[in-house]
Structures are given as C-alpha cells and as structure tokens.
Amino acid sequence: MTDTTAQTETITDDVVMRFLTQGGATVELHRQDYRLRTKPFNSIELLPNGESRISHGFNWRCLGCNAIGGGGRYGLNERHFDEHKPEESRDEANAHAANCRAMPKPTA
C-alpha cells in the first residue's frame, strides 16, 4: 500500500491579517509553509524517492466559532490550506467574519 500522506510538517504559521466578526470575535488569516511530499498542483501524486518540497499557502481560523478554511485545495488533518489562491483564502476569511455572529470566547 502506498502512503499518500501529503503533509510531513508545518514550518511556519504566521498571522498576516485579522477580521472582526459581527459578534466581536477574531478571524485570523495565517500564512503557512508546509513540507509536502506531493507534486506541485497535484495533491495526490507523490514526489519520487521520498523527496519533499516547501509549499507556501494560507488558511483562516475563526477564534469565536472555531470554523476553519482556506480556499479548499488541501485538507490537511483539520486544517485547510491553499498554496495557489491566497486571494480566495483572504476573501473567504473576510466573508466568514461578515456573517459570523460568534463572540470572543471567555477567558479564565
């Protein structure tokens, strides 16, 4: 059986933009670099000989309702990640914030 796991590690996870939901919670757009074992523009076909490449992409997370997204190209575990459409990830995060009514989570 061939191992088709695309992600091998997260290299960076930097917040590049924040949006405010209708209820006052924050949606964060993250830049994420992953080390992937799949070919560019192909989330299934593995690189030969166990090689890997660095993939630069984006995802977003709502800190109020816990929704996640990122343009929909890859679903890596519970994170969505898109290396080819950063504008779509940003627009999706902004659209979520415009419609979400989640309030910030209480602090202890």
Q: What is the layout of strands, in order, in the sheet containing 26-36?
A: 7-20, 26-36, 53-62, 68-69
Least Cα distance to 53 among 35, 71, 27 occurs for: 35
More confident position, 81 or 40: 40
Report the percent of the chain where pLDDT is more than 90.
Answer: 26
- Decide if 81 is inside a domain: yes
- Decide if 71 is inside a domain: yes
- Decide if 14 is inside a domain: yes
Instruction: Identify the pLDDT of residue 4.
Output: 46
Instruction: Identify the pLDDT of residue 27.
Output: 94
- Decide if 33 is inside a domain: yes
DSSP 94: H
CA atoms within 13 A on the CB side of 35: 7
Segments forming the whole domain that contains residue 45: 7-99
- Decide if 107 is inside a domain: no
3 pLDDT above the threshold of 50:
no
Q: What does the pLDDT average to over 45-60?
A: 82
Q: How much is the pTM?
A: 0.70
84 pLDDT above the threshold of 70:
no
- Decide if 106 is inside a domain: no
Least Cα distance to 94 among 62, 50, 49 occurs for: 62
